[in-house]
Structure 1
């Protein structure tokens, strides 16, 4: 061993020691997952899982948005989902359920890449897919990107750079260690988690401790996937929380009320993850707007729409109120739900009126008049309270529904690497719950 090798090894040990000290002994937080993310909304790219028409209104209350699902997810519908969420005013990260769901476009859009590892599944779900993903990134994704961006690069340099880029991507990602406790869920089927694989609280704690200290997982995710874990989940969270010092502890499954969200957070979870409750808002508003279209004139006033919603919707029991209630920081979920459902009906009526008035399936309104119509439909106070990016997102999606050009004042919408603007038409038509009739 040369003296240079010895120095390099010493520096490596010092670096590892400094990292361990920062995680365990020093009063600093080095976990790249923000500690103030108390609520994450999970958006499933599956074509059957729709988004509400005015989803930027709802998502402005959540801490972050996760893109990922366990069934019928592809690279294409994942990219489309990221298109629809760019540029939302909240962070958007990627939880891929398959290696090929990660593409250059999703990496460019995602604030974080969270790689799942199932602690109580089979070896494929723990290391097999990671190995497949590493091979895919090293031998396909990175070389293709390098050849596209740096066609002049010599082969020997391309190979070395591909090695570095692959290692950097994995080092830059966060690792998400799952404990799946619902054997009837799609997540359990994907990871081959059977009834016999479910963990007692102490077993879950032990595996969580190994994930934090050996696998260096930034996230520990207790997953009940579609069902509420109740007292069992509370006991397991309490045990896991007692064993962790650095990793974030997340819970997902059956959160559809403020009481359930609060119980999970009080049990030791850092974050509640909500997915189904959000997608149910989209299902609800589809039926609501169909009823409103039959009962109200396209130019119905704000007062008339509010009155109709008040008489025809049990807002306190609505999916909109249920989703908003899961967000600890959302003030008065019922009041917000009433405002958002009313705004959705008015915006939908506005879209139908514009389509009918144009006399042309593709519409003809300018971006400026569309903005004015949306401001009137949503209400000046609500529209003006939106972040600039969220307001632009609403206009872009409505322009896509109408088939008009993208609004001219949305320059801050992220461009593709070739300088062109993203087209939202196809993604909007596929993933929004409400689409204009031809």
Structure 2
């Protein structure tokens, strides 16, 4: 009798949970995130010098990558991104990438599950992540918070903490459609595993209704899905109940984004288009050093920027992928001009420090600098600390690039000769 009552009570609770999820939007992934910028911690994927400006335009950030990602460079990326006004997510590609630091600083943990890869990509990676949290991270956090607890209670709270952490995370059900990508290699997706639009719909429905995945991620990883992606999204949109539909891959401009969103994607994810901004910026700053000086007037700098920053440049193209940006060219010129001004000022300070035989890496005064003034409106954390970190990395250049201090290797200027 008791067993029957318990079973009925459990079924009633499950029914109430289904009704709540259906009637209320219980998905932890905000519905108003239209644009997410993915930050790859790999050192070769650079950030613009004044990256807080550019990233203030996107709805959220996601830290993660498919190759050459380590706990160390993940934490270095968090050093640079924590404190910005933009929400910060962590999408670990390995169990050991979830650290105490990432747990504290990330607003949302995104856990990937690949629906068309091998069993390791769907279950094995998740199992390793749960094991790492349950047996390493959670007990460590409990012992640090309550060192007086006995081993029995540490184990109990670690188990409870693991369940709570996973319940607060968002599970990303990936459909990887580019077999030549790093994401495909990591998840065991071959050309034979690429799904037709209907097959993608069927697996997406299973993820939405059985796996309770909060995100259905259609991933073309570096290439634009085009007609097939549009056809797939048009099938997914009316078929899913709770999951948000994210699309990533080859989005080069606003036209691509409009096509994908019109087909049914709730959110577009842009990665390479943002990192391309930093690659072009390094060349722009080298040119500015040769042609401009710190005392260049606002009018002259504006005219110079208009010549060197246009609609075909990476800055304007990245900003054009953000639906809320009305004039990407104007904004790209504004941010690029501000960056040039900040860079030239930093170079002057570096020269002054060298002349006075001071170590420019030790103390970087940032108050009333163009750099600090520029990022102040988009930073919620310690503005002086972040401005000093950026300035120190920019001034020290190759020294920090080699040692990876404070994520310096990821700034656009870290590989520049000075």
TM-score by length of 1: 0.88
Q: Secondary structure at the match of 1:208?
A: helix
Of 78, 83, 86, which residue of structure 1 is paired with 2:82? 86
Q: 2:277 aligns with which of 277, 281, 305?
A: 281
Q: Secondary structure at the match of 2:369?
A: helix
User: Would the alpha carbon gap of residues 9 and 82 (structure 1) be closer, same or farther in structure 2, given more than 3 Å must change?
Assistant: farther
Distance in 2, Cα, partners of 1:272 & 1:111: 19
Helix, strand or coil: the match of 2:26?
coil
Taking the TM superposition and a 5 Å limit, the aligned residue runs for 1:173-322 are: 173-311=169-307, 313-322=308-317
198 and 366 in structure 1: CA distance in 2 versus 1, 3 angstrom threshold: closer
Show the counterpart of 2:400: none
Q: Does 1:114 align with 2:106?
A: no
- Alpha-carbon distance in structure 2 between the residues aligned to 1:246 and 1:7: 30
Deviation per CA, 1:165-211: give whole Å up to 9, x if none. 12222112111000000000000000010010010111000000000
Q: Which runs of 5+ in 2 are unaligned?
A: 397-402
* 1:355–1:361 Cα contact (<8 Å) kept: no
Distance of 1:130 and 1:308 partners within structure 2: 51
Trace 1:151-166 onto structure 2 (pairs within 5 A). Answer: 151-166=147-162
Query: Which blocks of at least 5 consecutive residues in structure 1 are unaligned?
Result: 405-423
* Partner SS, residue 371 of structure 1: coil
CA-CA distance at 1:319 after TM superposition: 0.2
State the Cα distance separating 1:325 from its structure 2 match.
0.2
Deviations 1:246-294 (A, max 9, x none): 1100000011100000100000000000000000000010011011111
Instruction: Find 1:427's aligned residue among 406, 409, 412.
Output: 406
Query: For residue 399 of structure 2, what is the aligned residue in structure 1?
Result: none
Segment of structure 1 superposing worse, 230-239 or 313-322: 313-322
Residues 20 and 430 (structure 1), Cα distance of their counterparts in 2 relative to 1, 3 Å cut: same
Q: State the partner residue of 1:13.
A: 11
The 2-side partners of 1:235 and 1:16 are apart by 34
User: Aligned residue for 2:98?
Assistant: 102
Alpha carbons 2:110, 2:169 under 8 Å: kept: yes
CA distance in 2, matches of 1:256, 1:90: 22
Aligned to 2:189, the other structure's residue is in SS state: coil
Structure 1 residue matching 2:174: 3-state secondary structure: strand
1:304 match: secondary structure: helix
SS in 1 for 2:79: helix
Cα distance in 2, alignment partners of residues 272 and 398 from structure 1: 28
Q: What do you get for the CA RMSD once the two structures are aligned?
A: 2.3
* 2: CA distance, partners of 1:366 / 1:47: 23
CA distance in 2, matches of 1:356, 1:314: 28
Q: CA deviation at 1:426?
A: 1.1
Contact 1:89 1:390 in 2 (8 A): no
Whole-angstrom CA distance in 1 between matches of 2:257 and 2:152: 53
Instruction: Describe the shift of the 1:387–1:98 C-alpha distance in structure 2 as closer, same or farther (beyond 3 A).
Output: closer
Q: TM-score normalised to the size of structure 2? A: 0.92
Distance 2:404 2:72 in 1: 14
CA distance in 2: counterparts of 1:39 and 1:277, whole angstroms: 13
Report the counterpart of residue 142 of structure 1 in structure 2. 138
Hey, what does 2:388 align to over in structure 1? Answer: 396
Q: Structure 2 residue aligned with 1:349, among 331, 344, 351? A: 344
How many correspondences in the alignment?
Answer: 408
State the secondary structure of the residue aligned to 2:311: helix
**1:46 corresponds to 2:46:** no
State whether residues 241 and 268 of structure 1, in contact with CA within 8 Å, keep that contact through their aligned partners in structure 2.
yes
Shift of 1:304: 2.4
After alignment, is 179-188 or 385-394 more displaced?
385-394
